[in-house]
Structure 1
């Protein structure tokens, strides 16, 4: 895992990539997300709920049988959330996994006995075949309008540039990561124990594969593909 994650710097496409191609487990991903994250089956039962989700429901038991009896059916307070998920059920049978669905809903928080307006994102997971869902109260998100715009921008950038990013070697990805941390070519040379000329050649290859012409463009890849930590 590339360090600690934070919304909205990470999106569902990135999470699905971790699960599908980088071999990270669901629990490994869910435990580092500072938001409610869950995997929902077609019958709207929970396959997985992360620690932030347990806090949301104010449930101590790790028994998913108990959770599924509690999370939507016990109270009608979260009827809007159930309706949102119901609308997504048909998408589970479709092959297209690129669409991400967003909504703003008032969600009941039993742990605090109050409703909170939440940003909810959901998509069908390539890796799992089920819905993966992130939810975070707007009160937890500073500069909301800018961050929602950034989230949408990053998702679009990820989809538009994923095929180019996949052409990079592990060494080239490592160099982008070090560049994003402020290292120059001599520092990268020492860090990786390779010649400065080799670093320069890697950077030329990176720019060719990604069609980038500036440092700013490389940093965008580092940000969207989670290479900065």
Structure 2
């Protein structure tokens, strides 16, 4: 048997695609986990040790409370990819190709505006007025330092001590996230792969148990 002088190279696996940037509220996650733990402790205790209708009332309450807590604390997230922006709000998931995004607005709430004019709030990126005031004070110190009126070059003394001067403008965390999303929008809105239609999906996996729990509570209340 003869062997070829050279073999064709083995096919190379496709290069890794960039992962989505994920934005969530850390405080919302922590609060949600604590509330779920408390609800589970009280509800399961009532179901196990309760008498009469108490276990059923506890079951109905859990079916209502748990989906609502998950919806407003654990579920919200924003996923920014190369081709689309995915917004996961309490009861809806919205997918917007960058080509269909008209703007990203930041006021008392953060929202994305589709070219159709429809607005979608970014629940996972809440606005902190306190954070904005803190960022404004740091930005004033940074500008004073750059103009030589801040005392000492290259260092900005914040509320808790000294620190290196930031390279760019100081923004609140939520405003920085919107700034980052706007940069992705500018870079990707005309890409061929970033075109398509806006899709909206309801979170029936949360709505259904909440409605069932509410119906159970109504029935139990009607029975007296």
- Give the shorter-chain TM-score range: under 0.3
Q: Which has the higher contact order (CA 8 A, sep 6+)?
A: 2
- TM-score normalised by structure 2 residue count: 0.21
More helix by share: 1
- TM-score normalised by structure 1 residue count: 0.21
